[in-house]
Structures are given as structure tokens and as C-alpha cells.
Amino acid sequence: MNDDLKKQINDKLPPDEELFELADLFKVFGDPTRLKILNALLCSELCVQDIADVIGMSESAVSHQLRVLKQMDLVKNRREGKTIFYSPADSHIVTILNTGIEHIEE
């Protein structure tokens, strides 16, 4: 490989810090339970109890997974009285999930 090509490639690579963050993001998407939760939230804004009912898990387990998703800025929440409702944080989440499904269905 010549030095010009090597420099051109290196100039386009994201910084290591961004690559580590991206790897962490994909680790979160690597869990089927979190994917079920995210896909359920694509259909409707839901509270913990509703998510637990839909995916057949305990509220405690769902709360733990939601905490992980929230820490990675993949879900947002809003409070209505004592109930907290969750939804995807932004349209990028929808795009990532849909692109992944399209890829595996090819």
C-alpha cells in the first residue's frame, strides 16, 4: 500500500473514542430482550407494565433493560402522574432497527 492511500484511509477513519462508543451502541443492540422492547416501543409509547405484558417478562427485568437503553440514549421517557411512559429517543433508532431487519431478510 502506498503512503498516500494509507493517509487517505486514516484521514477518513473516525477517532478511536467514537469507535469505542459505536461498539458500545452495537452491544446494546446485541441483546434480543432489548430488541423486543425497542420494537414494542416502535408501535406505541408504553409503560413498564405494558412492556412486561407484551414481551412476557417481569417488570423488574424490563426496568433493568430500560435503564440500559436510557443510559445509551435509545429511549426517552415522560411522566404522567405516577406512570412513566417510554418511547424511542429519536428517528435514528427506527432507522437502525429497520435497516437491520431489511439486511437479515435479504
- The half-sphere exposure of 32 on its side-chain side, counting CA atoms within 13 A, is 3
pLDDT (0 to 100) of residue 60: 98
Q: What is the pLDDT of residues 5-48, one digit of tens each?
A: 988 999 899 999 999 999 999 999 999 999 999 999 999 999 99
CATH architecture observed for domain 3-105: Orthogonal Bundle (1.10)
Single pTM value for the model: 0.87
Taking 90 as the threshold, does the pLDDT of residue 66 lie above it? yes
Cell triple for 8: 487517505
Task: List 87's β-bridge partners, or say none.
Answer: 76
**Nearest to 67, CA basis, from 39, 48, 52, 92:** 48
Give ∠ CA 43-37-105 in degrees, rounded to 5. 75
Residue 1: predicted pLDDT: 81
